[in-house]
Structure 1
Amino acid sequence: MPTVSLRNEWPEALADPSGRRQAKPRTKGRTMILDKGVGLHAFEDLLDLSGEYIDIVKLGFGTSPLYPLPVIRGKIDRAVRRGITIVPGGTLLEAAVRLDVVPGFFRQALELGFTGIEVSDGTIQLDRNLRSELIGEAKSLGLQVFTEYGKKLFGSRIDIDDFAATVQQDLACGADLVIVEARESGKGIGLFDERGDCRDEDLARIRSAVPNLGRLLWEAPLKDQQVALIRALGPDVHLGNIPMQDVIALESMRRGLRSDTFSLQRVPHIDYMI
């Protein structure tokens, strides 16, 4: 019987026409997906298909305590084995702050094997001192820290000066990335208006006010938002709250393999002899 080749032998240039994408572990162009509660088999299928293009998995909101123990351990183990950072949602830490059980939150996060956490105040008020303490505590425990800026209330906007100051302080405390809130809807929150369109003027002001743009991760669950940010900030922009089914579609945009970002391709100059 003839043997079947398992190699993917497309021309090398077609894999990344942009010529820019880093291999994992990436420091540029990280992709964070939002897992709202799929089963273990579906999660494993996702990693088999697109794990190479996923850098961070966030178990959304406060869902982590609701998982059967074997399932959440299985998800964490599978992510870690593929070099993917996995974090519980920021809402869970906000609940731990409100209920005064922060030590228990950290203890269980470490026991389960989470490799990062999100420090946010989208629902509660978190004073600067406590925010700094939470970042410092997580870093001392060996966790990656992703802080988040913005409220989850529909209609909330970014205060550019406050945002710039928060980014500077969070990074000084040890945060790895600062996330710009957009929720899973991507509409009427932060950088995006009620239709989900990017507020270009706000983005321009942020680019002027924040010197560490490479340390920002933009929640952008909708395709047009991803296109807008890639066009404005380049394919190495960090993007989050990506729906699980859209990982490969996003990666194709980062590489110039979709019409929306076709101009990212680096086309070699060819001299034709006549």
Structure 2
Amino acid sequence: MDVTSRLEWHPRLLDPTQGRSVKPRKSGLTMVIDKGLGLHAFEDLLQTSAPYIDLLKIGFGTSPLYPSDLLKQKIQMARQHKIDILPGGTFLEVAIVQKTVPEFFEMVGRLGFTSVEVSDGTIEMERAARNEYIRRSREQGLNVYTEYGKKLWGSTIDVDQLLETVILDVQQGASFVTIEARESGAGVGIFDANGQCKDEELHAIVGQLPDRNQIIWEAPQKQQQVDMLRMLGLSVNLGNIAPQDIYSLEALRRGLRSDTFVHPES
């Protein structure tokens, strides 16, 4: 078939790696953080980028700052494009501290969110409580994304603790575990104060994971994304991607940027 007759790029130009999967994906997930897009900007985002977005997080605790009808519209639009959408984990932490967890879950359901994030980046959370929030979310028909790591500057990763958290969270019903890096990508987790990846620590973690596809690595900076794709493969799950960076990341995944350019064997 002459692909040009249908105004379609040749498959090897669309994806030189020949490895990019389509939604719903089991790996190669891209999680985008929304820090306040208006309805028209959000609609434009989905019109251009929906095939490349698997998960969209309404960042931090910003969900109650929107007019409820507007937020509901955004959620419905994301669902129409088969994008998992959830409030930021910090918002559940606020609900825990404010003793309003039932009210939190009630509104999550009424607004139409498809998922929640269970995290303890700012607060301390006992294992039993973590299990309970995962279970409660699943009972409400929500997908669960948990998060490991503290948001405090200079916080590091305890490999044994991380591995235990991943195993137990998945056993309890979490779909994926996100590794904290904040929206800055510096001075937290596997990134040093300059945003550089701690390669040895990353390899130590990955080498012991039962299933690396269960992990979403927050990597908001371009060089972090490049490093992750080079070290862990083009189908690594990446999170905290800014809306304006979706296309650049997708190009990296497909070998359409020099950083991951595909050189055919001669």
Fold match by TM threshold 0.5: yes
Say which is worse superposed, 112-121 or 20-29, in terms of deviation. Answer: 20-29
* CA RMSD after TM alignment: 1.4
Aligned residue for 2:207, secondary structure, equals: helix
* Mapped partners of 2:265, 2:201: distance in 1: 36
- Contact residue 34 and residue 60 of structure 1 kept, 8 A: yes
Matches for 1:1-274 after TM superposition, within 5 Å: 7-263=6-262, 267=264
* Aligned residue type for 1:111: R
Deviation (angstroms), 1:139: 0.7
Partner SS, residue 87 of structure 1: strand
Residues 41 and 7 (structure 1), Cα distance of their counterparts in 2 relative to 1, 3 Å cut: farther
Note if contact 1:161-1:209 (Cα within 8 Å) is conserved in structure 2. Answer: no
Which residue type is aligned with residue 133 of structure 2? L
Amino acid at match of 1:108: M
The letter of the residue matching 1:230 is L
SS of the residue corresponding to residue 33 of structure 1 reads strand
**Cα distance in structure 1, aligned partners of 2:256 and 2:121:** 35
Classify 1:200/1:268 alpha carbon distance in 2 versus 1 (closer, same or farther; 3 Å). Answer: closer
Report percent identity of matched pairs: 52
Distance 2:98 2:71 in 1: 23
Aligned length: 263
Structure possessing the higher radius of gyration over alpha carbons: 1
Taking the aligned partners of 1:7 and 1:61, their CA distance within structure 2 comes to 43
State how far apart, in whole Å, the 2-side matches of 1:40 and 1:157 are: 37
TM-score (normalizing by structure 1): 0.93
How much does 1:120 deviate? Answer: 0.3
Superimposed CA distance per residue, residues 106-139 of structure 1 (whole angstroms, 9 cap, x where no aligned partner)? 1100100000000000000011000011001101
Superposition deviation, residue 7 in structure 1: 5.0
- For the residues of structure 1 that align with 2:147 and 2:239, how far apart are their CA atoms? 11
**TM-score (normalizing by structure 2):** 0.96
